[in-house]
Structure 1
């Protein structure tokens, strides 16, 4: 059975919009947004260096912390998502119940409340360092959303693939590892990238729990200089540029993965 020209995509409402990897136009929404953001930030820093230029010069250290938290948290979130997604599809009622309860609980509580609760619980009960506590909190919160992505991706694979693998003597674990998950990756790559970008933006919430990320640095500067409009304008443009670049990277990965599948 021939593969469709464009692979199916799972769309989710939250997070950045992943550019269409097959859109070859030079001028599109992504390019206009990126050029506009970079141009405006450059203009402000050149035109008002004592204000916007100074604010931008304070951010590199915070940007590094933001990326570190995002990378470590994402690396922990993916395994959690795989286990939760498989658990939600498990025929074992106990495993299914645990996974489903975890998802429903996490999705029913605001992310900021969860971060506060998990962060301070870890600090009080286990005396975990702030940076590690932030990573654990963010990973635990996003694991539920990532689990739904994996569940949808696994469900998107034709049931005949599972039946064929089982008829060849594969166990359920082998079928999932060697047959289902490799095929599901192409479908779930865009929403996984979307979740990663959303996680990077949500690291700004960690600024309220003593993590010196880019948003905390900006907030502290604004509270001293009273240049709130200027500071948050720079922050908004910086976040926009980062998310646009990351969304394009996901789009390129999706296109390459689709190209390899057709070979």
Structure 2
């Protein structure tokens, strides 16, 4: 993978606002089409009711609304699942690169099973099959499902990042008497970070979007909150537009923030 120069990084950062602008134009177009369709149906818009689902000022003081509570739950679920997915993905990648027959077979078997399994089916497997056996609650089953599904993808990111480090680094570490574990810890993994950071960011964004699938088993998160609000208020368009906008803002903040970290890290190395 070619190394980014400061000039290329500057061009990359300058392109980010353009990409965001194009994305917003597409989103605006979708919103406009939906709005036109709703108007043709005679839909009664009630946007004035939406602020109360973000915050309220009551006699007891300031209180967060349901949408903000759902956002926090989504972030908690995604961060927890991403942490375990990263650990499991690293283990699978190391097994695949270990050269051991059994370790390689286990890693390949895990990857083939997960990559060919729809995430919804995997969620049902964890909740309805493994849940009663191991006494898993909804939240734990959701975290495990997301972690296992994304670990398969993250393991390939780790494997590609590790293989991107020049072989001379392995030879140099071996020549000074480092063990394989020490070589990974002090030489290979630190150098592979710059190769893995962009796809890992994309995977985190992917996981945040995937977390909406747990709404089918009524785990409290942003999409579940949205469905509950719609059943109470019948404001389908307002609620779903707002939920989509919250997801959009969250993923854009994550993508832009990590892009800047990546640029800073690459310049200093």
Structure 2 distance, partners of 1:88, 1:257, is 28
- Given the alignment, which residue of 69, 73, 78 partners 1:65? 73
SS of 2:267 mapped into structure 1? helix
> Structure 2 regions of 5+ residues with no counterpart?
36-44, 55-64
User: Aligned-pair distance for 1:92?
Assistant: 0.5
SS of 1:131 mapped into structure 2? helix
Greater RCO (Cα-Cα under 8 Å, separation 6 or more):
1
User: Aligned-pair distance for 1:192?
Assistant: 0.8
**Residue 162 (1) aligns with residue 160 (2):** no
Aligned residues: 243
TM-score of the pair, normalised by structure 2: 0.81
Please tell me the root mean square deviation across aligned C-alpha atoms, in Å. Answer: 2.8
- Cα deviations across residues 209-261 of structure 1 (Å, max 9, x unaligned)? 12011101111222343332222111111111111111011101101211221
**Residue 23 (1) aligns with residue 17 (2):** no
With over 3 angstroms needed to count, the CA separation of the structure-2 counterparts of 1:196 and 1:177, relative to structure 1, is same
Q: Which has the larger radius of gyration?
A: 2
- Given the alignment, which residue of 78, 90, 113 partners 1:82? 90
- Given the alignment, which residue of 131, 150, 154 partners 1:123? 131
- Given the alignment, which residue of 205, 214, 226 partners 1:206? 214
More helix by share: 2
User: Aligned-pair distance for 1:5?
Assistant: 3.8
User: Aligned-pair distance for 1:49?
Assistant: 3.6
Contact 1:65/1:212 (<8 A) preserved: yes
With over 3 angstroms needed to count, the CA separation of the structure-2 counterparts of 1:169 and 1:63, relative to structure 1, is same
TM-score of the pair, normalised by structure 1: 0.83
SS of 1:28 mapped into structure 2? helix
Query: Match of 1:15?
Result: none
Structure 2 distance, partners of 1:88, 1:243, is 31
Deviates more, 1:217-226 or 1:63-72: 217-226
Aligned residue runs from structure 1 range 172-187, under 5 A: 172-187=180-195
- Cα deviations across residues 94-123 of structure 1 (Å, max 9, x unaligned)? 100101110111000111111121122342
With over 3 angstroms needed to count, the CA separation of the structure-2 counterparts of 1:186 and 1:26, relative to structure 1, is closer
Structure 1 distance, partners of 2:192, 2:212, is 31
Contact 1:78/1:143 (<8 A) preserved: yes
> Structure 1 regions of 5+ residues with no counterpart?
8-18
Query: Match of 2:257?
Result: 249
